[in-house]
Amino acid sequence: MLTILVFISMAISIALYSAVVLIPYLCILFLPKDLREHCMRSFIVLNLGRAVIHLGLRPFIRIDYRDEAGTNTPPGIYVCNHRAGTDAFLMALFGVEAVQIVNGWPMKLPFFGYNARLAGYLDSTKIPLEEYPKLFKSLIDNNVNVIAFPEGTRSGSRNMNSFHSGIFRLAMELGIPVYPCCIAGNERFPDRSFHFHKSKGIIVKRLPPIMPETYRNFPSAFVFKKRVHDMIQQENQRLDAELDSR
């Protein structure tokens, strides 16, 4: 029952939001590519995420956002753990212009995939490895953050899968700040079969950035990914305990 209600609520929130932004959206479609991508990211997609969170999800679950990174933070790579399908929407809580790196199939979704492509989201299955440094440099130079889920797939539980090191290698190569981000509480909201279950809440937390001067002396990207992985895992254990005590 909860699953049906959440899906209906999300569908209504998306429909309402689409109706409100229809005219600006149509105008954006005719803009040059760079400007169109900027408008899609910083307005259409960002607020779509907000609409889904506030209108679609919050009636059913408490969602808290905590920021330990401060204000006026430089653009960087947001490294998040990945428990559930709602993670992609929760990224709107950061309130920054960003692209997400996605693993092929989300780009093929009828509505979300189309908008993700318009916003310049990165399909990791289609971009050759050697193009990433240039691509990332261009994004960061234009104040666009990159959101990555280096586990590669949803864990569907409180366990964290190991990270892939590619994103950390790029950060080290280009000297980009890395923001470890924690998402706790949504491991069954929804589960891996897209069924929503009652939960005590979701907490999203942005930790202080790890700056190049900190990771410069790490012996390898492997060490960098392990440190960030452990940092997120430890913080998530605290957040899970807090949610359990509610």
Options 42-50, 111-119, 160-168, 189-197: segment touching another protein (CB under 8 A): 160-168
Options 1-9, 25-33, 64-72, 163-171: segment touching another protein (CB under 8 A): 163-171
User: Shortest Cβ distance from residue 176 to another protein (Å)?
Assistant: 17
DSSP secondary structure letters along the chain: -HHHHHHHHHHHHHHHHHHHTHHHHHHHHTS-HHHHHHHIIIIIIHHHHHHIIIIIITTTS-EEEEE-S-SSPPP-EEEE---STTHHHHGGGG-S-EEEEE-SGGGGSTTHHHHHHHTT-EETTTS-GGGHHHHHHHHHHTT-EEEE-TT-S---SS--PPPPSHHHHHHHHHT--EEEEEEES-TTTT-TTS-----S-EEEEEPPPB-HHHHTT-S-HHHHHHHHHHHHHHHHHHHHHHHHT-
Residues between 197 and 226 that touch another protein (CB under 8 A): 219-223, 226
User: Shortest Cβ distance from residue 163 to another protein (Å)?
Assistant: 8
Residues between 111 and 150 that touch another protein (CB under 8 A): none
User: Shortest Cβ distance from residue 128 to another protein (Å)?
Assistant: 14
User: Shortest Cβ distance from residue 28 to another protein (Å)?
Assistant: 36
- Determine which residue in the list 143, 157, 159, 162 makes contact with another protein, applying CB under 8 A: 162
User: Shortest Cβ distance from residue 218 to another protein (Å)?
Assistant: 9
User: Would you tell me which residues interact with another protein (CB under 8 A)?
Assistant: 162, 164-166, 169, 219-223, 226
